[in-house]
Every structure is written in C-alpha cells, then in structure tokens.
C-alpha cells in the first residue's frame, strides 16, 4: 500500500477532487516531512456528498441485517490483513509509537467492525400485548445520514467506532477526519468499498473546522457523532441544534486515578504510567490527576520516577520507542507552557518536562514525560486538560475526602481506583461521577464495554451494543384487531 501524494475526498464509492479547489498540507509530526496535499471540502462538496449519502442510505437501509453484517465483517478481515501498513500510516500521521498502533488503533478498529457486524442481524424492536383486541410493536429504524467528526489522536479507531455501528444499523455515513491526520479515513473508505459496501454509504470529507461546521449545520444530515475537545463540542452542539440533530459527543477529560494505601504498588505505578504517557499523553480518558494515599506517596513517586526515566523517547517508527512526537509544534508549545505554569503555581517537577532532540527526527515535538508532585486541586495543571505527558500527583488521607476531590471537576470521562479491598473498590467507583471507570487497571477499552463521558465529557456511548441505540430511532406501532370505539 503506497502513500498517496494527493488525498482526494471519497464520495459515492470513489475518490473525487474537491469542487472547492482548495487544499492543505499534511505533515509527519516526527520528521516534518510533507506526507500529502489534501483536498479540502467546501460547502458545495458537502452538498454533493449529502446527496450521494442520501442515495446510499436508500439502498443500504433496504439490505438485510445479515448481509450488512457480512460486509462489515469482511471489512474487519481486510483491516486485519493490512494491519501493519495501516499502523505505519497512523504513526506517520500522528507521531505515536509503532509499538502501540497495530493493537491500539488498527485491531481496535477491526474489532468494532467485527462486533457490530455480528449485531447487525439482531437489531430489533419489542412486542406489547394489549389484550385480545390490540397489540403494539416497535421498530428500530436507522436515522438516515450520520456524520462523524474525528480527533487526531486515534484517527482510524475513531472512524471505525463511529462508522461500524452507524452502518450496522443501516445508516449512511459522512466522515470528516481531523485535518492533522487525514490519511486512514480514505483507506477505510477503500476497504469498505472492497468489502462490498454500496457506493454513497461511506464518504470522507477532508477539511478543518470550517468543513465540520458545514456538516454540523446541514439540515439533511440526521446525526452528528463528534470526538474532540469540549469547546469544539459546544460549537457542534449549537450547530446541530439548528436542525435538532441527534448527537453523540465524545469530549475531553481530566480524570482522576486514586491509589489507596493497600494497592499493589508496582501495578499502580504501571497504570499511572499507562494513564499518562501512552500515546505521549494524547488520550482523552487519561488519569492525569493521580491521588496517592499519603502513607505510600513517597514509595510510589520513587518507583514511578525511576521507571519513567527509563522510558525510551525516540523515532516513532522504531519498535523500541515508548514516547513519540506530539502532534505539532503549537501543541508542543501548549504542553510546555503548562509545565512552566505548574512550576510557577508551586508544584514540584520531579522528572521530565523537557524538550528532547531525537536523531533523525530533529523537526519533531518530543517531550520527556513530566511528573509533578505537591500539586493542589485548584492549580490549573490539575484542572485543565493538557493533553500531553504531564502527570499531577496529589496526596490524600481519607476515602470521602478523595472522592469529593476526584469529583470536583466539570469533566467526567473516566476514573480509576487501585485497592485490594473489594468492598472499597466498588463503593468508591459507585460514587465517582465518570462514564468509564477501572478498578486495578487503567485505559483499557475492550469492544463490548460502553465508553463515554458524564458531565461535560460527553453525551452517548460508543464501542458497545448500546451505541446502536444512538444510531437508530424507535417507531411505535399500535395495531387494532377489533372495532374502533368512538363516543360520537
């Protein structure tokens, strides 16, 4: 699979040039090399795509569930066959390590197609017995045209998590990947066509926020499923409100990871590292507020520091690399600004937080994983999403106290609890206001387990059967078997 020099839009089953005539460049964050010139969809491109998607919907929604599922499962097989090629593309687009991408990105995307492909034939309504003279039933019907708008950290996975349930339910999809990471959405379109998907059912529009805005306001698009930051999510919600669209919002977070004094300390340290430094910390559900019980605080920090300093920061294409490049220079500056801010606010920088030069990737944005201790709940580094490898550690004494502190945020995407005490684990998790919680681990998202946020971290759930509810609507049908009663 060779990388295209020019990325076109994908509309009606084939790559097409943008009517807008505009384009933008896509760069490898680690090397600065230009990867491709990408067509940018304008208003007329969106219009054309909506028409293709409407035709695609008419055809696809008439296909039986078992046949839809067969095509989705074929797509899962092709994704797996091309796993390493797709992973390399993802690494070049995102700057993340190749040690992560095959499993975390490609397998997770393939799992979604396999899982929802298996459910497609089982989408069904209910039957309601209303006595001898009547019954009612419900039909679970597709919404029509669904749009997906993605973030840059897990480009293919996000596309798959949205597209697989949408298509399983009989919808068509218009997907706009992040302008930072456009490549694999086009590859997914080719794979779906190869798997037998009718034309117009999956379409890709490239572009930045302007293109996303045209999609979100379009009156003939029935749903928008968005993954990105809270501020952008608010704009998309407001745009979707104009035509009262269905919405799914997968937004940002500032999640707590609570480590009690009876924890298995090496496992807790492993989880804290996964929860902060995997994918250079560019993960929405990261547990960036680490609350460690005061009795084990110093031991925890000492083990964490030495293990973190052994992490390999390097060329993302090198299988030995643990920490790759941040997505771009602007984001790097933002993360470094937070490191400076943490020091100014009085937190103690125990390790990292420095620019790192990587041989062969001199133009990349590499930062050594940063660990802050002596953090306070009201510091900005403990309240705002940094979206880089910056961990803030706070100590606590009491269970109720730490629950209150963990919940004191406008976000509610995820949370983690480490303890050997079974009762305490479940008691604490029940009180945490977060959509996805882990006990004695962190950041695992196996297909079948719903993923999504409380509070400002989101609306709706992905990656599980319940996502089908968000891509369908319910029709109730009352059936009269007797005479019609009429009082006049």
Nearer to ligand NAD, 261 or 282 (CB): 282
Nearer to ligand NAD, 444 or 474 (CB): 444
- Please report, for residues 214, 236, 244, 474, the alpha-carbon distance to residue 240 in angstroms, rounded to integers and kept in the order given: 10, 6, 6, 20
Q: In the annotation, is 361 catalytic? A: no
Which residue in 48, 162, 176, 223 is the catalytic one?
162
Q: How far is the CB of 96 from ligand NAD (least distance, A)?
A: 13
Q: In the annotation, is 284 catalytic? A: yes
Q: In the annotation, is 254 catalytic? A: no
Q: How far is the CB of 193 from ligand NAD (least distance, A)?
A: 23
Which residue's C-beta sits nearest to ligand NAD? 212
Nearer to ligand NAD, 140 or 235 (CB): 235
Structure tokens at 128: 């309601």
Q: How far is the CB of 216 from ligand NAD (least distance, A)?
A: 5
DSSP code at position 365: -
Q: Is 344 exposed, middle or buried (0-12, 13-18, 19+ CB in 10 A)?
A: exposed
Nearer to ligand NAD, 179 or 190 (CB): 179
Q: How far is the CB of 227 from ligand NAD (least distance, A)?
A: 5
Q: Is 390 exposed, middle or buried (0-12, 13-18, 19+ CB in 10 A)?
A: buried
Q: How far is the CB of 406 from ligand NAD (least distance, A)?
A: 18
Q: In the annotation, is 235 catalytic? A: no
Q: Which of 362, 266, 276, 348 is nearest to 306 (CA)?
A: 266
Structure tokens at 479: 């059936």
Nearer to ligand NAD, 367 or 402 (CB): 367
Which residue in 114, 190, 282, 462 is the catalytic one?
462
Please name every residue paired with 38 in a beta bridge, in sequence order, or none if there are none: 7, 24
Q: How far is the CB of 306 from ligand NAD (least distance, A)?
A: 29
Measured CA to CA, the distance from residue 339 to residue 352 in angstroms comes to 9
Widest CA span in the chain: 88
Q: How far is the CB of 139 from ligand NAD (least distance, A)?
A: 30
| Range list of β-strands (E), 126-169 | 127-129, 134-142, 145-149
Nearer to ligand NAD, 57 or 214 (CB): 214
Which residue in 190, 250, 282, 385 is the catalytic one?
250
Structure tokens at 59: 């055809």
Are 113 and 160 in contact by the 8 Å Cβ rule? The answer is: yes
Are 48 and 56 in contact by the 8 Å Cβ rule? The answer is: no
Measured CA to CA, the distance from residue 247 to residue 240 in angstroms comes to 8
Are 303 and 271 in contact by the 8 Å Cβ rule? The answer is: no
Structure tokens at 463: 């990656």
- Please report, for residues 159, 166, 353, the alpha-carbon distance to residue 33 in angstroms, rounded to integers and kept in the order given: 24, 35, 25
Q: How far is the CB of 93 from ligand NAD (least distance, A)?
A: 12
Which residue in 160, 284, 375, 382 is the catalytic one?
284
Please name every residue paired with 293 in a beta bridge, in sequence order, or none if there are none: 396
Nearer to ligand NAD, 113 or 411 (CB): 411
Nearer to ligand NAD, 39 or 179 (CB): 179
Binding site for ligand NAD (CB under 6 A): 149-153, 176, 178-179, 208-209, 212-213, 216, 227-229, 232, 235-236, 250-253, 284, 385, 387, 413, 453, 458
Are 345 and 384 in contact by the 8 Å Cβ rule? The answer is: no
Place of tokens 């000492």: 302
Q: Which residues are catalytic?
A: 162, 250, 284, 462
């Amino acid at each position: 699979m060779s990388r295209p020099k020019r990325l076109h839009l994908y509309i009606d089953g084939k790559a097409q040039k943008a009517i807008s005539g505009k384009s933008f460049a896509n760069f490898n964050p680690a090397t600065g090399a230009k990867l491709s010139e990408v067509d940018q969809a304008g208003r007329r491109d969106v219009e054309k795509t909506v028409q293709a998607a409407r035709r695609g919907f008419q055809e696809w929604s008439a296909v039986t569930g078992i046949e839809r599922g067969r095509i989705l499962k074929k797509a899962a097989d092709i994704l797996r066959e091309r796993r390493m090629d797709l992973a390399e593309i993802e690494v070049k687009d995102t700057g993340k390590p190749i040690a992560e991408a095959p499993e975390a990105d490609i397998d997770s995307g393939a799992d979604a197609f396999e899982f929802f492909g298996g459910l497609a034939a089982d989408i069904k309504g209910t039957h309601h017995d209303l006595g001898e003279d009547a019954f009612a039933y419900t039909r679970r019907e597709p919404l029509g045209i669904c749009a997906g708008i993605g973030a840059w950290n897990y480009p293919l996975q996000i596309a798959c998590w949205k597209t697989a349930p949408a298509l399983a339910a009989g919808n068509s999809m218009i997907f706009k990947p992040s302008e930072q990471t456009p490549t694999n959405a086009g590859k997914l379109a080719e794979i779906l066509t190869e798997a037998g998907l009718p034309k117009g059912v999956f379409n890709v529009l490239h572009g930045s926020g302007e293109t996303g805005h045209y999609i979100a306001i379009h009156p003939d698009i029935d749903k928008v499923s968005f993954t990105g930051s809270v501020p952008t999510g608010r704009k998309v919600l407001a745009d979707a409100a104009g035509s009262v669209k269905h919405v799914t919002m997968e937004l940002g977070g500032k999640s707590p990871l609570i480590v009690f004094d009876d924890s298995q300390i090496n496992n807790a340290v492993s989880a804290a590292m996964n929860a902060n430094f995997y994918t250079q910390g560019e993960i929405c559900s990261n547990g960036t507020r680490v609350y460690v019980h005061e009795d084990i605080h110093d031991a925890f920090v000492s083990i964490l520091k030495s293990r973190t300093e052994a992490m390999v920061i390097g060329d993302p294409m090198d299988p030995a690399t643990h920490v790759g490049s941040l997505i771009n220079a602007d984001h790097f500056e933002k993360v470094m600004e937070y490191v400076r801010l943490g020091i100014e606010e009085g937190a103690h920088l125990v390790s990292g937080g420095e620019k790192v030069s990587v041989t062969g990737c001199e133009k990349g944005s590499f930062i050594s994983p940063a660990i802050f201790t002596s953090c306070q709940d009201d510091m900005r580094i403990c309240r705002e999403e940094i979206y880089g490898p910056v961990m803030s550690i706070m100590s606590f004494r009491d269970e109720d106290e730490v629950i209150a502190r963990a919940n004191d945020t406008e976000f509610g995407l995820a949370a983690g609890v480490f303890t050997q005490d079974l009762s305490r684990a479940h008691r604490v998790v029940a009180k945490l206001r977060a959509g996805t919680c882990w006990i004695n681990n962190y950041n695992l998202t196996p297909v079948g387990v719903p993923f999504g946020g409380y509070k400002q971290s989101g609306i709706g759930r992905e990656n599980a059967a319940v996502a089908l509810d968000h891509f369908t609507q319910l029709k109730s049908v009352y059936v009269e078997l007797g005479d019609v009663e009429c009082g006049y």
